[in-house]
Amino acid sequence: MLDSGQTGLCGARKNVDGKITGESYGKISAIALDPIEKKPLRRFYPDTLILSIGSYGCNLNCPFCQNHRIAKPSEKPDVMSVSPEMLIGKAVSLKDQGNIGIAYTYNEPLIGYEYVMDCARLARSHGLKNVLVTNGYIAEQQLIELLPFIDAMNIDLKGFNAEFYNKLGGNIETVKNTISLAAETAHIEVTTLIIPDENDRRDEMENLSSWLSHINSEIPLHVSRFFPCHKYIGKTPTPVETIYALADIARKHLRWVYAGNCF
């Protein structure tokens, strides 16, 4: 529980007069019209564009974070205030350029749950798609409330062992539950970033892909290559051969497996 005036580890929620509030509500640090494949979503409206927004903060503490400058900034990044009405107006204005909706991405969007909900409701009423790119670390009640407005998600499954998730400040069962529930109503794709000597064991990929196939063997899995960054700047990139080998293991269980960042 946060004391009065204290900000949480996520960097975006604060105790104000005994109430936990979202300090990052409507605070946008990044906005771009991206290819849908960049999320990555390979089997959801391919060859389209989506308006992508990010705020700041994250509820995990990954030393390999690819977007640490906004997810775990040493100080709050430059932001602009964008109301849900302003955001949906912008998204609608970009329809003639191929925009299909809004992707909540870049940092961890679900720590700004209230803003995502308000925007998603409004976007749905204007015929726009809502996409989440998330670590999946969210309480079940809030997830269930949000899912009716979400069309697609790419969920990071960081690895497939509890010890690894504990190291990141989370727990794997919460993320597994998110994947299971979301797959019932939305298009789901899963990404696992492979880090040498951390989550690159073959038996781990065997277990991960087998578990995912029991939810739905049609769920796409992105096996992604790590490059040194953040607190892991001294590590070596994941060997390309490792990515291909793990992708081959996953293909025993899943129809759609993509080896990412190998070039």
**Structure confidence at residue 14 (pLDDT):** 66
Handedness of CA 211, 217, 219, 225 (dihedral sign): positive
Query: What's the CATH number where 26 sits?
Result: 3.20.20.70
pLDDT in tens, 21-57: 778 999 999 999 999 999 999 999 999 999 999 999 9
Residue at 161 is within a domain: yes
**Structure confidence at residue 243 (pLDDT):** 97
Residue at 210 is within a domain: no
Residue at 146 is within a domain: yes
Residue at 220 is within a domain: no
Total domain count, the chain: 1
**Structure confidence at residue 22 (pLDDT):** 75
Q: Give the C-alpha separation, 138 to 169, whole Å.
A: 13
Burial class (CB in 10 A: 0-12, 13-18, 19+), 94: middle
**Structure confidence at residue 261 (pLDDT):** 78
Q: Could you tell me the residue range of the domain that residue 158 belongs to? A: 22-193
- Residues lower than pLDDT 50 in the chain: none
Residue at 159 is within a domain: yes
pTM: 0.95
Among residues 29, 38, 33, 39, the alpha carbon closest in space to that of 51 is found at 33
Q: Give the C-alpha separation, 206 to 192, whole Å.
A: 13
**Structure confidence at residue 9 (pLDDT):** 73
pLDDT in tens, 203-241: 999 999 999 999 999 999 999 999 999 999 999 999 999
Residue at 207 is within a domain: no
**Structure confidence at residue 260 (pLDDT):** 82
Residue at 35 is within a domain: yes
**Structure confidence at residue 8 (pLDDT):** 60
**Structure confidence at residue 23 (pLDDT):** 85
**Structure confidence at residue 12 (pLDDT):** 72
**Structure confidence at residue 263 (pLDDT):** 64
Residue at 154 is within a domain: yes
